[in-house]
Amino acid sequence: MQRVTEPELMNDLSQAMAYAEADFDEAHSRIVEAFGAYFPGVELAGNILDLGCGPGDISFRFAVRFPAISVIGVDGAAAMIELANQRKAREAMTGDRVSFIKGLIPGAAIPRISYAAIISNSLLHHLHDPRVLWETIARYAGADTLIFVADLLRPPGTAEARRLVDEYAAGESETLRRDFYNSLLAAFEPREVEAQLAAAGLEGLSVEVISDRHLVVHGIKG
């Protein structure tokens, strides 16, 4: 099945709110667990960059799991950054260790500091030109920066995409179900991601399929 792109930014407030209110508890807790599985024994400390952070759920989860980190989340959608900052005001546990920057990747005003890890969940499939993500990672990662990118996997056809929506988003709003379907069609296949990594000089990273709808890219730039 050919890739069908979707709008890059989730700028529409109702779309951003549907996303922020969706139940990603299981999926997102598995992202944090998967990070631990790919980097066993690592107790992260220092600065973490979360690219395409949306309303910040993954940023906050990492900040709770690793008390010695500070997370900078970056997203191009004003609606998402607004929701992320509203949540920050409610999250007493992580205090000032989580902050958000509104900015389009590439070009966002991301601080040039040393990052212990660069993480990203569900940004890649939004990008019309996927090089944007890999070039940003290559730019901001040092030799020891742990890189962890999770995203959807494009299914072989629309029937399988519909099946995945019915199986995993049965109780969700129509807005979220539509977004999930469109996102599956916009996602990449593992061999496409491998080609993107090679083109960006990131051959040190590995691509792994971790479920019927997710892949993970992990490793260090070297």
Ligand X SMILES: C[S@@+](CC[C@H](N)C(=O)[O-])C[C@H]1O[C@@H](n2cnc3c(N)ncnc32)[C@H](O)[C@@H]1O
CB neighbours (10 Å) of residue 30?
16
Shortest Å distance, C-beta 222 to ligand X:
25
DSSP secondary structure letters along 9-54: ----HHHHHHHHHS--HHHHHHHHHHHHHHSTT---EEEEEEET-T
Shortest Å distance, C-beta 167 to ligand X:
19
Shortest Å distance, C-beta 69 to ligand X:
16
Which residue, 130 or 219, is less far from ligand X as judged by CB?
Answer: 130
Which residue, 111 or 222, is less far from ligand X as judged by CB?
Answer: 111
Burial of 101: CB neighbours in 10 Å, binned 0-12, 13-18, 19+: middle
Comparing every residue's Cβ against ligand X, the nearest one is: 54
Burial of 3: CB neighbours in 10 Å, binned 0-12, 13-18, 19+: middle
Shortest Å distance, C-beta 40 to ligand X:
23
Which residue, 50 or 219, is less far from ligand X as judged by CB?
Answer: 50
CB neighbours (10 Å) of residue 131?
13
List contacts with ligand X (CB under 6 A). 8-10, 52-54, 57-58, 75-77, 80, 104-105, 121-123, 126-127, 132
Which residue, 77 or 153, is less far from ligand X as judged by CB?
Answer: 77
